Amino acid sequence: MGENLPRVPGGAQLHSDTLHGPVRTLRVKMVILGSSGVGKSSLALRFVRDEFKNPSPTVGCAYLTRVVHLSDVTLRFEIWDTAGQEKYHSVTPLYYRGAHAALVVYDISKRETFVRAQVWLKELEKQYIPGSTVMCLVGNKGDLDQERQISVQEGQALASDRSLFFTETSVLSGDQISELLLGIAHRVYECIGGQQGGLSEWKETPLIDLHHRDTFTPFASCCKVGP
């Protein structure tokens, strides 16, 4: 599952490593929002399995997990991939309530998804308790540069206005995906991890013993970040 880990150009290294030391494991709730078709499910799949395939449209919400090892802590990302359809708007707050990280995704080749992203950001701000959620704007489908309708600058400007983390990715090519996840991991840990009641510790349920773990978080892969 986690064998084909992406190479990280920026010096950091990812290791396939299912063993982890006596470091704490903290739960991070992350939600992915945005119009349908921008690549949210594909992004979630890249996060947890590092593969790309043509997904069917998401119904409701998909829950996936991915473990990220930082130098002194392990973060267990519990990722909610939401359906962009309006019909689910009434239930979506359920998914982003209490999220530690929120990714708002748009498709750089479709302006209306960028407009929609701004609506999502407004919506999130209503629920937003400063310091409790790391928000991130993601311009996906960077590989479609020829059909680009939103410039990098425009995306960056929107993010800077609201002091959000910003990146352009290509889920198709894998570009910037692990950087994005690591970036979020660091920020979440720095901003929220230290707070009282910020991140709760994750304990494996006593029902399951260790060798079953792979089955019950079937797609979780682990990676360790060197200093």
Ligand X SMILES: Nc1nc2c(ncn2[C@@H]2O[C@H](COP(=O)(O)OP(=O)(O)O)[C@@H](O)[C@H]2O)c(=O)[nH]1
Question: Under the rule (CB under 8 A), what is the footprint of another protein?
Answer: 1, 35-37, 41, 44-45, 48-49, 54-65, 79, 81, 83-88, 91, 94, 112-113, 116, 205, 207-208, 212, 215-216, 218-219
**Which span (50-58, 152-160, 182-190, 218-226) binds ligand X, by CB under 6 A?**
50-58
Q: Applying CB under 5 A, does 217 fall inside the site for Mg ion?
A: no
Q: Applying CB under 5 A, does 58 fall inside the site for Mg ion?
A: yes
Residues 69-88 that bind ligand X (CB under 6 A): 84
3-state helix/strand/coil string of the chain = CCCCCCCCCCCCCEEECCCCCCCCEEEEEEEEEECCCCCHHHHHHHHHHCCCCCCCCCCCEEEEEEEEECCCCEEEEEEEEECCCHHHCCCHHHHHCCCCEEEEEEECCCHHHHHHHHHHHHHHHHHCCCCCCEEEEEEECCCCHHHCCCCHHHHHHHHHHCCCEEEECECCCCECHHHHHHHHHHHHHHHHHCCCCCCCECCCCCCCCHHHHHHHCCCCCEEEECC
| Interatomic CA distance for residues 94 and 101, integer angstroms | 14
**Which span (18-26, 36-44, 120-128, 184-192) binds ligand X, by CB under 6 A?**
36-44
Least separation in angstroms between CB 99 and ligand X: 17
Q: Applying CB under 6 A, does 141 fall inside the site for ligand X?
A: yes
Beta pairing partners, 136: 103, 165
Q: Which is nearer to ligand X, 74 or 140 (CB)?
A: 140
Q: Applying CB under 6 A, does 167 fall inside the site for ligand X?
A: no
Q: Which is nearer to ligand X, 45 or 164 (CB)?
A: 45
Q: Which is nearer to Mg ion, 35 or 58 (CB)?
A: 58
**Which span (10-18, 117-125, 136-144, 147-155) binds ligand X, by CB under 6 A?**
136-144
Q: Which residues bind ligand X (CB under 6 A)?
A: 34, 36-42, 54-55, 57-58, 84, 140-141, 143-144, 170-172
